[in-house]
Structure 1
Amino acid sequence: MKAESYLFGGVAVFFLTTGVGYGWWSGREPAGTAALTVAFIMSSLICFLFAHNYQRRGTRPEDNDGGKIADRAGPVDFFPARSPYPVLTATGASVAALGIVYGLWLFILGFGVLAAGVGGLTFQYVHRGE
C-alpha cells in the first residue's frame, strides 16, 4: 500500500498545483477551479486511505520482491452457481432508465423491479452459514 499511497500523493500534488495555477491564470473562473479542487480532495483521500492501511497492516505479500504466489493464497469466498437476480437487476435498471425518458409510471415500475433484484442479490444466501 506504500507505493499506491505515493502514487495518489503525486496525483494529489499534481491537481493541487494545476488547480492553483488554473485559478490564478483564469482569473478565478469557478467551474474549472472547483473541478480541480474536488479532484485534489478525492486523490488526497485515496492517498490517506492507502497510507493509513499501510500503517495499520504493514506490507503485503506482493510488496515483497522475493514473494511467491502461494504467500497470498487463502480461502476464496463463496460464489453461487446460478442466480436469477443479476438479470432481474439489469432489467429493472433498464426499465427505470427508459422510464426517465417515457414517463414516471415506467420509472416507478422499473424501480420496483430494480429494488426486487437488488434485494434478492443481497438476501439470496442470508442463511447460508446456519
Structure 2
Amino acid sequence: MKFEAKLFLYGVLFFIPVGIVYAVWSGGEPVGTYGIPLVGGMAGMIGGYLYLVGKRIDARPEDDPLGEIEQGAGDQGVFSPWSWWPLVLGLAGTVVFLALAVGWWLLLPGLLIGAVGLVGWVFEFSRGQHAH
C-alpha cells in the first residue's frame, strides 16, 4: 500500500498550497477558501491511514517495482456479487437527498431504510445467532 499512501499524501502537497493561492486570488471567497484545504486534509487522513496499514501488512506485488503479474494471482478478497444490500443503501441515499428538495419529512424514512440496509449488509455473511 505504499503507492496508494504516497498518492494521497502527495495530494496534501497539492491541495493545501492551491487552497492558499485560491484564497488570495479570490479575495477570501469562503467555499473554495475552506473547501480546497479541507480536501487536502481529507487526503492526508486517507494517506496516513494507508501508510499505517502498509506498515502492518506484508509487501504486495504492486509495491515491488520488479513484480510480475503472476505474483498477484489468487484470492483478492471476499465479495458477494449477488448482494442486494448496496441497492437498498443506494435507495436510502436517494431518499435522504430527495429530502433536501421535497421536504424534511423524507429524512426519517430515508434514514430508516439506510439503517436496515447497513445492518443487512454488515450481517450478510453472519453465521450462528445473527444469521438470516
Query: Do they fold alike, i.e. is TM over 0.5?
Result: yes
Q: Which residue of 2 aligns with 1:38?
A: 38
How far is the alpha carbon of 1:16 from its aligned partner? Answer: 1.1
Equivalent position of 2:12 in the other structure: 12
TM-score (norm 1): 0.64
Name stretches of at least 5 consecutive residues in structure 2 with no aligned partner.
none
Change beyond 3 A, Cα 1:55–1:30: same
Query: How many residues align structurally?
Result: 126
Q: Distance in 2 between matches of 1:103 and 1:27?
A: 35
Task: Give, as a single letter, the amino acid of the residue that structure 1 aligns with 2:38.
Answer: V
Larger Rg: 1
RMSD: 3.6
Normalised to the residue count of structure 2, the TM-score between the two structures is 0.63
Asked if structure 1 preserves the Cα contact closer than 8 Å seen for 2:16 and 2:37, the reply is yes
SS of 1:67's equivalent in the other structure is coil
Residues 48-87 of structure 1: pairs in structure 2 closer than 5 A: 48-75=48-75, 77=78, 79=80
The percent of aligned pairs where both chains have the same amino acid is 31
CA drift of 1:61 comes to 2.0
1:117 and 1:45 map into 2 onto residues whose CA distance is 27
Counterpart Cα distance in 2 of 1:41 and 1:103: 31
Indicate conservation of the 8 Å contact 1:99/1:108, yes or no. no
Q: CA deviation at 1:38?
A: 0.7
Deviating more after overlay: 3-12 vs 34-43: 3-12
